[in-house]
Amino acid sequence: MRARAPAFVRTTIRFDGTRQIVRAMENAGVRRLVCQSSLGIGDSRDVRPPFFVRHIVIPVMLRHAFADHENQERVIKQSRLDWTIVRPATMTNGSSTGTYRHGFAAADKGLKIKISRADVADFMVKQLLDDTYLHHTPAVSW
């Protein structure tokens, strides 16, 4: 029997792990949570990725991962924490640029729909001390 590719396997790893983290944070009195999700989840579905991504990659290859992200976000939003859920575009292994867009509207034109992991990390760390996106789900992209 051939092993199935991880993208095609139904998983709840994000949901299960996040539920445990939220419970532990609430019990310990830790309030601030910054979590990485994905562009295309929740109200960011309207961002228009390329045709192949929109009609093949997301609904076929990433459907289980996206369902897990949706459940993960639901757990966070129902918590008593001070949360920010960051939704990056397709992540690359490129260098940090320090120049990226965040909190944009889904209909915003000119997005590259990609961003380096280094820039996502930069944005997420900044959220620890910035309440601009408290209880929001900002998208980040170049």
Beta carbons of 58 and 66 less than 8 angstroms apart: yes
**Banded pLDDT at 113 (limits 50, 70, 90):** confident
Closest of 96, 36, 37, 92 to residue 67, by C-alpha: 37
Rounded CA-CA distance 73/95 in Å is: 28
pLDDT at 110: 77
Average pLDDT rounded to a whole number, residues 117-133: 97
pLDDT at 107: 65
CA distances from 64 to 7, 15, 23, 84 (A): 7, 12, 24, 23
Mean pLDDT of the chain: 89
Within 10 angstroms of residue 44's Cβ, the number of other Cβ atoms is 17
Q: pTM (2 decimals)?
A: 0.88
Higher pLDDT, 109 or 12: 12
Beta carbons of 141 and 100 less than 8 angstroms apart: yes
Domains (ranges, CATH) in the chain?
9-141 (3.40.50.720)
List pLDDT tens digits, range 25-69. Answer: 999 999 999 999 999 898 887 766 667 777 787 777 888 988 999
Answer left, alpha or beta for residue 72, where phi above 0 means left and psi between -120 and 50 means alpha.
alpha
Q: How many residues does the chain have?
A: 142
